[in-house]
Amino acid sequence: MCANELPDVNKTPPPVVRGEPVRAADGVFVIPDNRVPLVPNVGIVVGDRAALVVDTGLGPRNGRYVLDRARQLAGDRPLFVTATHFHPEHGFGAQAFKGIATIVGDRAQREELRRKGAGYVDMFKGLGRAIAAELEGVELVEPDLVHDGRLELDLGGHRATLRTVGPAHTASDQTVLIDDRVLFGGDLFETRMFPIAPYFPPHDTDVDGHRWISVLDRLIALGPEVVVPGHGEVTDVSLLREVRDYLDHVRGEAARLRAAGATADEAAATIDRDARARWSTWDNPEWIGFAARAFYDSAR
């Protein structure tokens, strides 16, 4: 997990959650990421009896900001908080909620946090001073309430269904579906961005592109009306189809080029060139090569 292999974020704004929650649906609010790297879309779902926060931002300061905004919307209602996956910008603000909210997660995510959390803190700190500053004093917080694949939270007038769907983007991706209408999926999909494939052999090879495509197929079949990506603008189910088509393209090309005798580097370079041209409006093309190598190494 070498920082110099990852996209350069030193020239981007600090990874700080800013702004006010925006209504995405009845009872569902999103603090937009404003397309700032390492800032997630943060969800706040407010029911009559309780509220749920989806993702916390990077580190304790962001976690406190999200907690303040949740309190403004939810008042003194009990709070639940969960993360779509264990990556630092999505779940490493949880310490701000410790003892205040019920932290909810799946068993697989807890295990992945135990295995990789400290390593990811070190890796992210190496990405730049602004990121390291947000991670100063960070504590890895495990869930208070652990589920084994599916959990429903009755918030009062709104129902949140948490499901384990990984391995895909990570070993333990979790989706959050609100009232069968609004889907939070973390980095399983991002708007106008090349999907993040954290493929760092030999340290971290848990990304599963083949299953990722299958997960997207299942999510498309749910027919959500509102789709909240891990990063980028809130949109609709068409985003899931776009991300699925991209991943399927990389999978097919990686298998074809490997069968034709191309090396992993040659395949990645070819796929990178073609994908940049085909999806020319998408950001973060640095991630194309990671996805290409993951599919190349898993090709049969």
Instruction: Write the pLDDT tens digit of every residue in 235-259.
Output: 999 999 999 999 999 999 999 999 9
What is the residue whose two structure tokens read 């007038």?
A: 157
d(CA 133, CA 124): 10
| pLDDT given for residue 103 in this prediction | 98
Residue 297 falls inside a structural domain: no
CATH number for 84: 3.60.15.10
| Separation in Å, CA 187 to CA 153, 216, 231, 234, 299 | 22, 12, 7, 13, 23
What is the residue whose two structure tokens read 């509220």?
A: 51
CB atoms within 10 A of CB 256: 14
Phi, psi of 36 (to 5 degrees): -90, 125
Decide: 195 and 291 in contact? Cβ < 8 Å.
yes
CB-based contacts of 253, cutoff 8 Å, min separation 6: 267, 270, 271, 274, 292
Range of the domain at 158: 3-237
| pLDDT given for residue 2 in this prediction | 41
Q: Give the pTM.
A: 0.95
Residue 9 falls inside a structural domain: yes
Low-confidence ranges of the chain (pLDDT < 50): 1-4
| Number of domains within the chain | 1
Residue 49 falls inside a structural domain: yes
